[in-house]
Structure 1
Amino acid sequence: MRVPQCIKLPDLGKWLVMITILMVLGTACGSELPTRLPTAPAILLTRPPTPMVMNEKRSTEVAEVPTATQTPKPTPVVMPDPDFYLVLAPGIPLKMEEAAKELSRMAPQLFSWTQGQVVNGSIVKLSMNEGTPLAQWTYVIAAPFATVTDDVSLEEVMAGWQTGSNGLGNLVLDQETMDTYSSIWGSPSTNIQIVKSNELVDALWKGRPSWTIIPFDQLSPELKVLRLNGSSPLARDFDSTSYPLNVVIGVTGDADGIAQLQSNWTGPRSNRDPLKLTRVAMSGVTALGRATAYQMEIGGITNPGVIVAPVMQAADIAHVSHEVSFAPDCPYPNPIGDPIFCARDSYLALIESIGTDVVELTGNHVNDWGSHNLEHTIDLYETAGMKIFGGGRNLAQANEPALFEHNGNKVAFVGCNPVGPAFAWAAENSAGSRPCDYQAFYEQIRELREQGYLVMTTLQYNEYYHYQATPQQQADFKALVEAGATAVSGSQGHHAQGFDFYNGSFIHYGLGNLFFDQMDMLGTRQSFIDTYVIYDSRLISVELFTSLIENYCCPRTMSESERAQLLQTVFQAFWLKVSLFR
């Protein structure tokens, strides 16, 4: 039996429809001979009325859906306002700024670092050249090392600030120094070249002639410090009170805050602390024999040192390379004698008079009068309180460095003699100079550097009578730098030679004669004393004192033109472009 498919039912009342269908089916099944199911009339069903609830309020509450357990938020800790707000004026040096920030981190209840405007609260401000002094910052005028000029005036510096250049060349600054001096001198010329601080040295050398203003503690040997109005911060007797580039960082603001800052300040008080400064003077060849000794006998034993003594004595460690041994039986000197040298014991007074602290014994002539006289010589030096290196009573002592510690700076001296003669070399049981076992020498330099020493290294190299270093000489000296030498000095140099920089170290291939009788060439009369300036365990500068030997014995200060000629010559031996402003 076919169930009618046309019935459409409302959604509500489906149960009534089902009952009706069942009744129809039941009736049909009762017929014996069904012929055709008549079409059922359409059944219309209505939705049952919604029952009315009398006097009952409809609920408006919504059931809560369970949620995951939430961690209660901690109660915010309200920090009390600091006692003082710490503010910095424009141009404050970066190291001072970093120290101020560190103070606010370490003592937040006292100081809060801020760069914004303080509406309520007490202010303590670091300012330039005003307020209660907190620190002192020293700046210098510097140029590439290959610069002949030694002095500059404040007027010339100000002209460069206002125009971007002066007789020294173009002014190059890093941003920090530009900001500092802009706050002091006002806006500078837009022609000034601004570079990153770590690119300053390269920019100066590439842009020669050029110059800069730089914080004292950021100096490097590649730069030459120029005296400003006759004063140099490198000098031992430097007077900062009258120096034009000395900046005072002061504190202004709340009086109690100033007192708290002064008592809690752990940052730097200066970028030029005299207690971190060491000066090392290294000289060239000394041989107190022949015509030099003869002039000493005539003019006075200490007479040759009168001019150079102040230079050597201004150093904290003064070096002499004496190639001749003292001998009790050394005869009265012959001014035209042969090159077999000895020195009379009384001549030690000259070496003492100039303030010698360490004596180098790498010389070729130390055993001219026998190794027993070198032993006697070492006794004299040690009795006089001088240290030795580069030679000794035996090979073991000859290999030992001379070690110094001064103002927290550790300085080591090592040296060797690669050329002999063989009888000048120390042996296991005999005195002499140190032969160059280069591998052992390199290893010693590395070890000393690892121990924190600045290693002053010397070579009694082959002698050349010209300003240029040979390619092999350059390679051999640079190998010592690669081993860790802070500076390499050519002790062999009767003739003055030029300079070089390599891997951040300083090389002087030959310093010339200090006390010797070679008067036949200008280059053997010209002489250097190199003063290495060490600050806080770092070599920051090298000063050059130049002299000219007179009367076979006695160095004198060069004239301005003589010095300019020598500097130009030795600089051009390595660097073709030299700043000649004078």
Structure 2
Amino acid sequence: MRVPQCIKLPDLGKWLVMITILMVLGTACGSQLPTRLPTAPAILLTRPPTPMVMNEKRSTEVAEVPTATQTPKPTPVVMPDPDFYLELAPGIPVKMGEAAKELSRMAPQLFSWTQGQVVNGSIVKLSMNEGTPLAQWTYVIAAPFATVTDDVSLEGVMAGWQTGSNGLGNLVLDQETMDTFSSIWGSPSTNIQIVESNELVDALWKGRPSWTIIPFDQLSPELKVLRLNGSSPLARDFDTTSYPLNVVIGVTGDADGIAQLQSNWTGPRSNRDPLKLTRVAMSGVTALGRATAYQMEIGGITNPGVIVAPVMQAADIAHVSHEVSFAPDCPYPNPIGDPIFCARDSYLALIESIGTDVVELTGNHVNDWGSHNLEHTIDLYETAGMKIFGGGRNIAQANEPALFEHNGNKVAFVGCNPVGPAFAWAAENSAGSRPCDYQAFYEQIRELREQGYLVMTTLQYNEYYHYQATPQQQADFKALVEAGATAVSGSQGHHAQGFDFYNGSFIHYGLGNLFFDQMDMLGTRQSFIDTYVIYDSRLISVELFTSLIENYCCPRTMSESERAQLLQTVFQASGW
């Protein structure tokens, strides 16, 4: 073996050292080796970028490393103990409970909510029928609208509470009302059906015959309010002091706390505030001509209105649809004359005597005696302080609604005549009834609803001498509801017709004659006055007054059996 010339050692020790070095540094003169061992593929490492030097002058100072610190916690605010603790007795209405909780949130220094908790302090409690009076809650007895019975006694109500049913049928309640009267009357029968409050109306209709106890402000038109011991909370002269279902919500506990609660209370004081209540009476056909006028001449001008006047006068807004114009030259009436009508000016006294506030002019006969006499008629109405709708001195006035605002409730009346005759319709420069441009009519109803009005809508429709509405009549009336009508009333109806509920609105297809001489059919003698009860800008109920025309002119109150027969007939014609 040849020793590489690059290393020379003089003796053996150095030779051995040389061999060792060669084993370690064999590659130092690699070109002298005959072969080369295979190597692994090279891994190229990229050198990290050199940090940018922001300042060429090197600092000799040692950087101070910040020490970790905790965010200081806010100092807890210690609330002083409230002056009083507030709680509810069982059965307190939900609205009252919500108002009490809101008071504790708004005035925590005065009241703390403590329902079900043990506290060491003065307690103030809302209680049923005890303590210092804070509010009154009125309840009503109600049944499905298609119920013939009008009255119930307190004894009958208590019998239903104790057994689950009475002569009205099965008792159906929501849980809140059940709790309220359980706290007053004690535990009821287990046979009472309990449903969710939003399912109550449907449950009552599906379970007919049936009835319920319901807070006044939760009424809906689909329910009929029954008089209790002869008294109805729908009446204008309703006396809360003698009504059995008027519940007092009182305050018990610490005397100072009661005084503070009374002075700071912003919740409801009642669920029946008379200053939020409006009653609107809608009547059927009036035509002061022919035999009706003759009877007025011989029996007294205001005689036909004696029976119905109290019903109309009990309304805040009373409606009459008079199809006949007054004329200064109207002759003495012929009781068997042709159906071309006029009314003597003196007959206005009848319309005034019953308390009329608004007159509908959609009638087919308003121009029988000439459009100039309709202008004269409008002058008489306006001088008497009555509003008009559904007709006018020209088409512009005929298209205008009659608007009312009473106790915060906005009520609009609109109506039109789709059947004519053509000479009865208003034109640009002549008086008459409003023809039905349905698209414009629908749009007007929508706009009035958007403005917050409850829209009472009438149609002077085709006349039918039967109780059941025709399919086309139903479709046309429901189209008005779809446009936004609160109620639709058939002004054409010489013959009484049935009812409907559609999309939450009330429809009466024909009310019958109020003052007219059609004595040849029972259905043309039977008549309705519908009183719409509005509370806090919502239609909550419809009362039905029924009468029977006598002597060609004069409606009288029906007997109990006559009323029951009419109601059963029209309910059946309504599909109920």
* TM-score, normalised via structure 1 length: 0.88
Name the SS of the counterpart of 2:555 in structure 1: strand
Q: SS in structure 1 opposite 2:5?
A: coil
Q: How far apart are the structure 2 equivalents of 1:369 and 1:55?
A: 109
RMSD, aligned α-carbons: 8.7
Measure, in 1, the Cα distance between the counterparts of 2:51 and 2:453.
104
Give how far 1:76 is off.
1.3
Structure 2 residue matching 1:359: 3-state secondary structure? strand
Deviations 1:35-88 (A, max 9, x none): 999999999999999999999999999999997421122221110001111111
Looking at structure 2, the residues matched to 64 and 480 of structure 1 have their Cα atoms a distance apart, in angstroms, of: 83
**Match of 1:35?**
35
**Is 1:172–1:195's contact at 8 Å kept on the other side of the alignment?**
yes
Counterpart contact for 1:12–1:48, Cα < 8 Å: no
- In structure 2, the partner of 1:539 is 539
1:496/1:74 CA distance change after superposition, 3 Å: same
Q: Is the 8 A contact 2:89 2:125 kept in 1?
A: yes
Moved more, 205-214 or 34-43: 34-43
Matched, 1:169 2:173: no
Query: C-alpha offsets along residues 2-61 of structure 1, whole Å, 9 cap, x if unaligned?
Result: 999999999999999999999999999999999999999999999999999999999999
How far did residue 305 of structure 1 move? Answer: 0.1
CA distance in 2, matches of 1:50, 1:446: 76
Question: Using the alignment, how far apart are the partners of 2:462 and 2:54 within structure 1?
Answer: 125
Q: Distance in 1 between matches of 2:332 and 2:42?
A: 156
- Contact 2:531–2:542 under 8 Å retained in 1: yes
Q: Which segment is superposed worse, 58-67 or 96-105?
A: 58-67
Alpha-carbon distance between aligned partners in 2 of 1:238 and 1:490, rounded to the nearest angstrom: 30
Consecutive unaligned residues in structure 2, runs of 5 or more: none
Percent identity, please.
Answer: 98
Give the total of aligned pairs: 573
Contact 1:12 1:47 in 2 (8 A): no
Cα distance change of structure 1 residues 44 and 430 upon mapping to structure 2, 3 Å threshold? closer
* Counterpart position of 2:98: 98
CA drift at 1:116: 2.3
The 1:310/1:16 distance shift into structure 2, 3 A limit, reads farther
1:398–1:433 Cα contact (<8 Å) kept? yes
- TM-superposed CA distance for 1:114, in Å, is 1.2
Q: Identify if the C-alpha distance between structure 1 residues 19 and 485 changes in structure 2 by more than 3 Å, giving closer, same or farther.
A: farther
Structure 2: how far apart are the matches of 1:376 and 1:189? 65
1:278-325 Cα shifts (integer Å, max 9, x gaps): 000000000000000000000000000000000000000000000000
**3-state SS of 2:119 partner:** coil
The 1:187/1:345 distance shift into structure 2, 3 A limit, reads same
Deviation at 1:366, TM superposition (A): 0.1
When residues 17 and 239 of structure 1 are mapped into structure 2, their CA distance, relative to the original with a 3 A threshold, is: farther
Cα distance, 1:143–1:67 mapped onto 2, change above 3 Å: farther
1:15–1:506 CA distance, 2 compared to 1 (3 A): farther
1:64–1:314 CA distance, 2 compared to 1 (3 A): same
What's the CA shift for 1:117?
A: 3.6
Q: Is the 8 A contact 1:10 1:47 kept in 2?
A: no
Which stretch of the first structure deviates more once superposed, 21-30 or 469-478?
A: 21-30
- The answer to whether the 8 Å contact 2:390/2:416 transfers is yes
- Is the contact made by 2:426 and 2:432 (CA closer than 8 Å) also made in structure 1? yes
Evaluate the alpha carbon distance shift between residue 301 and residue 33 of structure 1 in structure 2; reply closer, same or farther with a 3 A threshold.
closer
Contact 1:132 1:252 in 2 (8 A): yes
**8 Å Cα contact 2:154/2:244 also seen in 1:** yes
Q: For 1:122 and 1:285, how far apart are their aligned partners in 2? A: 65
Q: Return the offset for 1:435.
A: 0.1
Contact 1:279–1:534 (CA<8 Å) still a contact in 2? yes
**Do the aligned residues in 1 keep the contact of 2:9 with 2:15 (CA within 8 Å)?**
no
Q: CA deviation at 1:440?
A: 0.2
Greater than 3 Å deviation, 4+ residue runs: 1-68
Per the alignment, do residues 359 and 64 of structure 1 end up closer, same or farther by CA in structure 2, a change over 3 Å counting?
same
Secondary structure (helix, strand or coil) at the match of 2:28 reads helix
- Could you report, residue by residue, the CA deviation over 1:158-206 in whole angstroms, capped at 9, with x for unpaired residues? 1111111111111100010000000000011111111111110001001
1:371 corresponds in structure 2 to 371
Question: Equivalents in 2 of 1:201, 1:430: separation in Å?
Answer: 49
Give the structure-2-normalised TM-score.
0.89
Judge which range, 41-50 or 1-10, deviates more. Answer: 41-50
Secondary structure of residue in 1 paired with 2:319: strand
Distance 1:4 1:331, change over 3 A: farther
Range 114-123 or range 420-429, more displaced: 114-123
2:7·2:18 contact (CA, 8 Å) conserved in 1?
no
Q: What are the superposed Cα offsets for residues 180-236 of structure 1, whole Å, 9 maximum, x if unpaired? A: 000000011111111111110001001111100000000000000000000000001
State the 1:532 CA deviation: 0.1
